[in-house]
Every structure is written in C-alpha cells, then in structure tokens.
Structure 1
Amino acid sequence: MTEWRAASVADKLAQWRLTPVGPGFSTVSSHLQPVLRDGEPAMLKVARLEEEANGCRLLVWWDGHGAARVLEHDDRAVVLAMGGDSLVPMSVSGDDDRAVRVLCDVAAELHAVSRRRFAERPEGLIPLEEWFRSLFARSETEGFYARAASLARRLVDAPFDPADLVVLHGDLHHDNVLDFGPDLGWLAIDPKFLVGHRVFDYTNILCNPNPSIAESRFDRRVELISERAGITERALLEWTVAWTALSASWFAADGAVEDEHNALRIGVLAERRLSRG
C-alpha cells in the first residue's frame, strides 16, 4: 500500500490553477486557503492528516446532497464551493430552535443519500465500535466514564433496524453547517469517516455551539431533535451519554480540562433525564 503523504498548498494552487485570495489559515488537520476558481470564490482544503483526507472523500461521495459541493479533488485535497455563515450566529442570536431544525434536516439528507447508495459507500469507513475504543478502555474505571463505557458497548453491540445503519457525518454541529445561499441552502462540511447507527449524528448538536446554550436548552433540544429526526428520546439520550464520555476522554488525553468538564456536564444531563424515564 502506498504511504499517504500530505500535499502543499502551493502545489494544489498550481495544479488546479487557483488564485489565492488573502491569507490562508491552518488547523490541526488541514490547511485552508480562500481562492478564486475560474473567477468564482472557493475554498482550497489541503489535508494534513489521512483521516481528514478521508473525510474529504465523503464530501465527494455525497455529491452536493446535504454536503458542500466539491469542485476539484484528489486523495489529499479538495476545492469546495464557498459557503457563508455557519449556524452559530443563528443559535446565539436567539433562534436556536431553527438552528437545531436545520441540523436535523441536514443529517436526514445525508442519511438519505446513504440509504440510496450504501452499497457504493467508500471503502474503509470506521465503524463506531472502533471509534469508541478509547472509551471502552475506561470500562474498568469508576463513575460516569465506566457507566458510559458499559452503555456504549451495549449500543454498539445491539441489533438494530438495517435502515438505521448509515454513513455518518460524525461531527455534525453548528460550526460545520454553512449557508450556501438561497439555491443550495444549508450544507455540511468537515465530516469524519464513520459508519454506524444514525442516532449518533444527532448527539453533538446537544453539545454546541457553547456550554451556556447547550446546558440551558438541553431539555428543549432533546424534545425537538426527537420529533424532527423521528427517533426516541431514550435512544438520543443513551447515545449522548456515550458520545459525551468519548469526547471528554479525548479532551482529558489532551489535557483540556475545561473542555472535558463541559462535555461531562452534558452527559450528566442526559443521564438525569434518562433516570426520569
């Protein structure tokens, strides 16, 4: 197997005849550069990690249905149509209900593509059993992590309706859905490379866009997502316990104590609501 290597922004600008517009920026996983492609605004995204490049493969596979349109691509980079604002301003300005509905609708569209084309899904998708491995390693601990690890194991191992097995976005939240204008609407960016139960894609909505909103609107959002997505509150809450524990375990490993605590607080809210039946 050929070893994967990151490309340079300069190489991709030249290869696809792109004109940079202003400064680019970098994240842990990608280099991003606003560009003009044939005179039209676009975004060049050059993966720094193979995991991120795999997420770009999903954008290609979704082909503009629920996800940003891909204009150029190879195994190391993509050029995306330029999006506008994320859903964060909508949520923080007081219209969080609308933002949550948009997120649910985007998830539903992505999952609908998966159902139509599941047999043609990209090779190598990561199953949730593997995605949760760092949480499963905490099963011998105590407290919330141990309870969540046990619950996650049950969820991953439980049989379920084949219609609920979908290609997942894996990181669906307010910052990862952008406004692409009146014709295209709201579309997702920055997917992971996962496959598993569809309810998983709704859990991160409950943790964003900031701790204050996530905690104060938790109960309202559970009701709204359950209704909009056609899933039971129990399923949503159980997967949320599992996800928040996994997320918190990653933050803990990185030494991000405040982020770990924020994730755990949402998990505790989910546990409490579960206990109320």
Structure 2
Amino acid sequence: MKVDDHDLFTPWLERWALTPDGEPIMTPGSCLMPVRQGAAPAMLKIAVDDEERYGNLLMTWWDGKGAARVLAHHDEGLLLERAMGPRSLMHMALNGEDDEATRILCRALARLHAPRPTPPPSLVELEPWFASLRTAAARYGGPYSNCLRTARTLLTDPQDVVVLHGDMHHDNVLDFGARGWLAIDPKRVRGERGYDYANLICNPQLPTVTDPERFARQVDVICDAAGIEQKRLLQWVQAFAGLSAAWFMEDDEQEAATGQLKVAALAASALHARHV
C-alpha cells in the first residue's frame, strides 16, 4: 500500500467526521493517520490483520485506564486520543533517566494488569507464543535450548496470571500530557505478569541492552517497582530473550538475535550466581 493512498481512510474519516492532521503511517499490522475530531487531536488506526483487531478490542476493554482512551471503535477501525506530550521514554532511557523510564513503564503495567469489572475480550494463553523458541531449540540447540528449559519451568507453573500487554517497550507507552503515560498497541494474550516486565530489559531498540551494569541495575529497579521476586524476573528475562532471538532468526536478523542471546546469557549468569 502506498503511503500517499488515502482511499483506505476515507470511509473512516467520513464515519467519524475527522479531518486529516498529518501523513499516514503504515506498519505491518495497521494503518494510522493523525486526525482531528473538531478541534481535538486524535489518531485513526485501521487494523489489517486479526492480531491488531483483537488488540483494538483490548484497548476498548481497558477503557482509558493505563492505556490511551478509545474515542470510537467499529470493526477494524479505532479512533484513539493522540499523545501530544513532548517526552519520550526511549529518549529518557538513553539520556541519563533510564531508571525513571523503567519506573514509568512499571507503573503503566501495574494499571494495565489491574482487575476490571467486566471479562476481557477473547485472549490466547502465553504458552503457544513460545512455539518459535521450541522450533529454534530443536534447530540450533545451545542457548535456545537453555532458554526453552527455563520457559517450560515458568509456563508449567504460572503465577500472578493477568491480561498482558504482550509487547511492552519504551515506544509503546507515550506521553499524553495531563493524562500521564499511557500504553498503546497491545497483543491479545494472558499469562504471568513477569512476561511483560522481562520485555523492558530485553528491548532490542536500546543499544545499552547488553550492558551488564545496565542489566543488573534495571533488574533491581523492576523488582523494587513491580514487587517481583528477582529469581522469577531473571527466569522470565532468559525465557523472553530466547523467544525474541528466535523471532529475529525467523526474519533472518542474525545480529539482532545475537544481541538477545547476550541478554539471555546475562540472565543465566545472574541465576547461576544465585546458586539456582
């Protein structure tokens, strides 16, 4: 789809009386356009695959508590309040405020994980999400097999099961000004809350992700902010880093996969130091 092709957006602009306020943004799973509804800035999002459609349902279910507020929703179309604040968690993490960025992410997750009065939309369990790690372990062995063993331990005996965000990282929690820091772009998965926190440490977009000092520091910050036992978090980091590496290998991104395996090795080393 061409970025200058507005035909996809026209029915939605007409449905919700929207005015374009920027150029379209195309991602593998959705098409977005900054818009205005009257004078109010908003973001129009059109899902182009089932995963994004289910994510839209989850955004609606969260009802603006910890996540961007849904202004309208119909089929694959979603209208969200738009983040207009100037701050960026990625910028903070790379400019001396890594700890505070992590604490903000932890607070956002705590709000998302909190119980709701109504049942959530259709979800998938976390265990099937690790299929790629099982495939990588069978194909490559080595660290992938080690990560898989840890994942199986966690998935066999889940604790603190919640509705997960599923893709929590520094660019999926945005500055909404007076409304604070709010999440966007969830997946539709349920499982142990530690999975979401592991992603904060493994974020491959952070060039500091394999720094041992940064790793140890962020483990401490998350355990304190989220009330997670350190061993459990380290196990989730090892499992998730292996899964992330497996996903990168499927896309033939070997350098990125190597980086994630380095994170897995840091977690494994920290676990070994605890004599577990």
TM-score above 0.5:
yes
CA distance in 1 between partners of 2:263 and 2:11 (Å): 43
Deviations 1:145-200 (A, max 9, x none): 0111121112111153xxx1100001111100001112x10000111110000111
Aligned to 1:128: 126
**In the alignment, which residue of structure 2 is the partner of 1:73?**
73
Identity of aligned residues (%): 45
- CA contact 1:138–1:149 (8 Å) conserved in 2: no
Q: CA deviation at 1:138?
A: 3.5
Structure 2 partner of 1:191: 186
Amino acid at match of 1:62: W
Distance 1:39 1:159, change over 3 A: closer
The equivalent of 2:23 in structure 1 is 23
CA distance, structure 2, for counterparts of residue 23 and residue 38 of structure 1:
18
Residue 164 of structure 2, aligned match among 164, 168, 188: 168
Call closer, same or farther: CA 1:86–1:77 in 2, change over 3 Å: farther
Gaps of 5+ in 2: 1-6
* Alignment TM-score, normalising by the size of structure 2: 0.91
Deviation larger for 260-269 or 208-217 = 208-217
How far apart in 1 are the matches of 2:89 and 2:204? 9
Root mean square deviation of aligned Cα? 1.5
Secondary structure of the 1:214 match is coil
Contact 2:210 2:259 in 1 (8 A): no
TM-score (norm 1): 0.91
CA contact (8 A) 2:244 2:260 kept: yes
| Structure 1 counterpart SS, 2:66 | coil
Question: For this pair of structures, how many residues does the alignment match?
Answer: 263
Q: Say which structure is richer in helix.
A: 1
Q: Map 1:47-126; keep pairs closer than 5 Å.
A: 47-83=47-83, 84=85, 85-112=87-114, 115-117=115-117, 120-123=119-122, 125-126=123-124
The letter of the residue matching 1:202 is Y
Give 1:265 deviation, angstroms.
Answer: 1.3
SS of structure 1 residue aligned to 2:247: helix
The residue that corresponds to 1:3 in the other structure is none
The separation in 1 between residues aligned to 2:177 and 2:147, in whole angstroms, is 40
Q: Which residue of 1 aligns with 2:271?
A: 274
After TM superposition, give the deviation of residue 212 of structure 1 in Å: 2.9
Give 1:219's aligned residue: 216
- Deviation (angstroms), 1:211: 4.1
Tell me which residue corresponds to 1:200: 195
Alpha-carbon spacing, 1:30–1:51, altered in 2? closer, same or farther (3 Å): same
Q: Quick one: distance in 2 between partners of 1:43 and 1:56?
A: 13
Rounded to whole Å, the distance in 1 between the matches of 2:193 and 2:224 is 15
Structure 1 stretches lacking a partner, 5+ long: 1-6
The answer to whether the Cα contact below 8 Å between 2:245 and 2:261 also exists between their aligned partners in 1 is yes
Establish whether residue 244 from structure 1 lines up as the match of residue 245 from structure 2: no
In the superposition, relative to structure 1, how do residues 159 and 32 fare at CA in structure 2: closer, same or farther (>3 Å)? closer
Displacement, 1:139?
Answer: 4.0
In the other structure, the counterpart of 2:254 is 257
Quote the Cα distance in structure 2 between the aligned partners of 1:209 and 1:270: 15
Change (3 A) 1:209 1:264: closer
Contact 1:173 1:209 in 2 (8 A): no
Q: 2 CA distance for matches of 1:70 and 1:211?
A: 29
Matched with 1:152 is: 151
- Does the CA-based 8 Å contact 1:91-1:209 persist in structure 2? no
- Superposition pairs for residues 222-233 of structure 1, below 5 Å? 222-233=219-230
Distance in 2, Cα, partners of 1:185 & 1:146: 41
Q: Distance in 1 between matches of 2:158 and 2:186?
A: 25
Q: Deviations over 1:13-36 (max 9, x none)?
A: 121111111211101111110000
Structure 1 runs (4+) deviating above 6 angstroms are: none
**Aligned equivalents of 1:159, 1:16: Cα separation in 2:** 42
